[in-house]
């Protein structure tokens, strides 16, 4: 298992000079991580990362920064709404995906990662989010992106999230079958499959996801959750209710050297979260 971190979770709360992509990368390596989840817009300030900004020079600079720090880019994130109802806005969103794919090819990123949106401009869960119509809309939005990825030899990975259109393993499997491309894979985040109604049954939910999606998993996200009055809240691994036995065993037995990036960490718990997971993994 190769443990990484979301780069924008590194150096949180520090001064502006510590918020650059370069300084965060150096700190991530210092903290013992081997890879990162990179979102350009969250680590490079003052740039609108549209299709034009995502140029070849950016790709080569980023490649050099992470190579100098001994880091891989496990996920190049482009978490935009491919089910946006406005055709003009959707066209612009696709252009940004195309740009991320081009950059990913040049810098050698593991996958271009995305969530699966909502059928409204606000990207919020509504009464239509889990409908078949919303699923069809997302598949239509995703298909040209995967075609572009095939052209560049890049992998696109979708991340099922309960609050989004692709909310469970069955929906994710239906997308994989509908698109029918070897360049489409899965980012598996067990906590993102949970909500108030199934949190007590989380072992079954995670087992179901592994059974149905395991062959297609490219990257794993690792975090934890706590319960609040407004629902489940994501927190750093080891600071909530999660039992990692099943997901770590899956990784160890079926996914040699898989990259797993931590989410929702802060300066004070990133290293302890990494060390806990490495300890649990080693004990299996």
Dihedrals phi, psi of 15, to nearest 5 degrees:
-70, 165
Handedness of CA 146, 41, 162, 127 (dihedral sign): negative
- Cα separation, 119 vs 123, in Å, equals 7
Rounded to two decimals, what is the model's pTM?
0.96
- Cα separation, 45 vs 144, in Å, equals 29
Supply the pLDDT for residue 254. Answer: 98
12 by Cβ neighbours in 10 Å (0-12 / 13-18 / 19+) ranks as middle
Class of domain 2-283: alpha beta
Supply the pLDDT for residue 181. Answer: 98
Strands 224-228 and 231-235: antiparallel
Supply the pLDDT for residue 14. Answer: 76
Residues with pLDDT less than 70, the chain: none
Supply the pLDDT for residue 13. Answer: 74
Domain extents in the chain: 2-283
**Beta carbons of 190 and 247 less than 8 angstroms apart:** yes
């Amino acid at each position: 298992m190769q443990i990484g971190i979301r780069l924008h979770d590194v150096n949180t709360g520090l001064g502006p000079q510590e918020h650059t992509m370069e300084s965060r990368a150096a700190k991530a390596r210092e903290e013992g991580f081997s890879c990162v989840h990179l979102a350009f817009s969250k680590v490079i300030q003052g740039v609108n990362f549209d299709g034009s900004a995502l140029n070849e020079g950016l790709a080569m600079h980023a490649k050099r920064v992470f190579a100098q720090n001994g880091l891989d880019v496990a996920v190049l994130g482009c978490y935009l709404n491919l089910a946006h109802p406005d055709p003009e806005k959707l066209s612009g969103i696709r252009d940004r995906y195309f740009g991320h794919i081009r950059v990913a090819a040049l810098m050698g990123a593991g996958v271009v990662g995305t969530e699966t949106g909502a059928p409204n401009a606000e990207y919020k869960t509504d009464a239509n989010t889990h409908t078949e119509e919303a699923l069809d809309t997302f598949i239509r939005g995703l298909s040209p992106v995967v075609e572009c990825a095939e052209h560049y030899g890049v992998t696109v990975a979708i991340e099922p999230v309960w609050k989004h259109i692709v909310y469970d393993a069955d929906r994710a499997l239906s997308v994989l079958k509908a698109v029918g491309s070897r360049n489409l894979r899965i980012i598996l985040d067990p906590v993102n499959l949970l909500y108030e109604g199934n949190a007590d049954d989380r072992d079954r939910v995670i087992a179901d996801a592994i059974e149905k999606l395991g062959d297609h998993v490219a990257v794993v996200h690792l975090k934890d959750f706590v319960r609040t009055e407004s629902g489940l809240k994501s927190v750093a691994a080891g600071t909530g209710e999660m039992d990692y036995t099943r997901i770590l065993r899956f990784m160890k037995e079926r996914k040699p050297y898989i990259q797993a990036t931590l989410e929702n960490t802060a300066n004070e718990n990133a290293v302890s979260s990494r060390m806990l997971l490495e300890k649990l993994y080693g004990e299996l």
